[in-house]
Amino acid sequence: MPGPLNPGRRGLLAALPAAAAACATRPPPPLATGPASEAVHVVSRDWHSDIGLEVRDLRGRLAALGANWPGARSLVLGFGERGYLLSRDRSLADMAMALLPGPGAMLVTGLSTDPAAAFGREAAIRLRVTPEGMAGLQRYLEDSFEWTDAGDPLRLSDGPYAGAVFYGSAMTYSAGFTCNTWTAEALAQAGLPVRVGGVLFSGQVMAQVRTLAGA
């Protein structure tokens, strides 16, 4: 969910009991071995994190999704709570309600450049994964969407800025499974050695990502 973190929301999250921290919703695959030849971008936007992929690397249903942005070089995908994301007038009560288990949503943004150029190299870090890891990541991303009977992602509305669209998610958002838990699990499904359990905040994701990038 893009945008600055409201101090009230930070307080609400900080007050959650430790027991709310979620574990991975699925077991991670074995750590990927072999040549890491494909790029995954992890984007931090204040308290939120996203996954970015080059359009040319998209496969299957994700490739069909990418065709909705003709000329785009990359897509940035993020997960959030549906009611909060779609609300145009967010209050502290909306923020509190977003912590309760509820339907998720996906925000997809098409970029004419790579994420590092769009968000800055400090905010968008590129990792390398194996082809097997990329396949695992894209399966996870596919599973994150809600699909119609026709095989299309369920479109909810235009996004908050040009080039962005909200889609339904098949996953449930909660205080224990946030946008950042989702990002960490996506990286784990790519075969990267990322801790998922207890990850709620973007800093917990980005600290691991920066360690991996440095390694």
Ranges of residues in the chain whose predicted pLDDT is under 70: 1-25, 30-33, 88-100
Q: What is the DSSP letter of 76?
A: E
Q: 10: Cβ–Cβ under 8 A, 6 or more apart, which residues? A: 47
* Rounded Cα distance, 33 and 131, in Å: 10
CA atoms within 13 A on the CB side of 173: 26
**What was the pLDDT predicted at 36?**
82
* Rounded Cα distance, 178 and 80, in Å: 7
Q: Are the CB atoms for 170 and 144 separated by under 8 Å?
A: yes
What's the burial of 89, exposed, middle or buried (CB within 10 Å: 0-12/13-18/19+)?
exposed
Q: 52: Cβ–Cβ under 8 A, 6 or more apart, which residues? A: 40, 41, 42, 43, 74, 75, 76, 77, 111, 114, 115, 124
**What was the pLDDT predicted at 83?**
87
pTM of the model: 0.83
The one-letter amino acid code at 213 reads: A
Q: Is 164 helix (H, G, I), strand (E, B) or coil?
A: strand
**What was the pLDDT predicted at 211?**
96
Place of tokens 């224990």: 176
The one-letter amino acid code at 82 reads: R
**What was the pLDDT predicted at 52?**
98
- Tell me the per-residue pLDDT of 103-149, one tens digit each, with 9 for 90 and over: 999 999 999 999 999 999 999 999 999 999 999 999 999 999 999 99
53, containing H or E segment: strand 48-54
* Rounded Cα distance, 48 and 43, in Å: 8
Place of tokens 């609300």: 87
Q: 125: Cβ–Cβ under 8 A, 6 or more apart, which residues? A: 41, 42, 116, 206, 209, 210, 213
